[in-house]
Amino acid sequence: MFFWDPTYILLVMLPTLVITGLAQAWVRNAYNKWGNIANGSRINGQQTAQILMRSGAIQPVGLEVTRGQLTDHYDPTSGIVRLSQGVALQPSVAAMAVTAHELGHVQQHQQNSPLIGLRQMLIPSARFGPSIGIMLILAGLFLNATGLATIGLILFAGATVFTLVTLPVELDASRRAMKLLEGAGLLTTEEDRDGANAVLRAAAFTYVAAVASSLLTLLYYAMLVFGGSRRD
Q: How many CB atoms lie within 10 A of CB 164?
A: 16
pLDDT in tens, 32-67: 999 999 999 999 999 999 999 999 999 999 999 999
Residue 64 designated active-site = no
Q: What pLDDT is recorded for position 194?
A: 97
Check: CB of residue 221 under 8 Å from CB of residue 159: no
pLDDT, residue 1, reads 52
Distance of alpha carbon 47 from alpha carbon 211, whole angstroms: 33
In the prediction, which pLDDT does 228 show? 57
Percent of the chain whose predicted confidence (pLDDT) is above 90: 89
Bridge pairing between strands 62-66 and 80-84:
parallel
Reference 185, options 1, 54, 30, 81; nearest CA is 54
Per DSSP, which regions of 59-199 are E strands? 62-66, 73-75, 80-84
What pLDDT does 2 receive?
53
Letter for the amino acid at 214?
A: S
Please write the tens of the pLDDT for every residue from 1-28. Answer: 555 788 889 999 999 999 999 999 999 9
**pLDDT-based confidence at residue 82 (cuts at 50, 70, 90):** very high
Q: What is the mean pLDDT of residues 130-134?
A: 92
Q: Which of 102, 170, 182, 190 is catalytic?
A: 102
What pLDDT score was predicted for residue 153? Answer: 96
Average pLDDT over residues 152-167: 95
Whole-number Å distance between alpha carbons of 37 and 91: 8
Percent of the chain with pLDDT over 70: 97
Measure CA of the first residue to CA of the last residue in the chain; give whole Å: 21
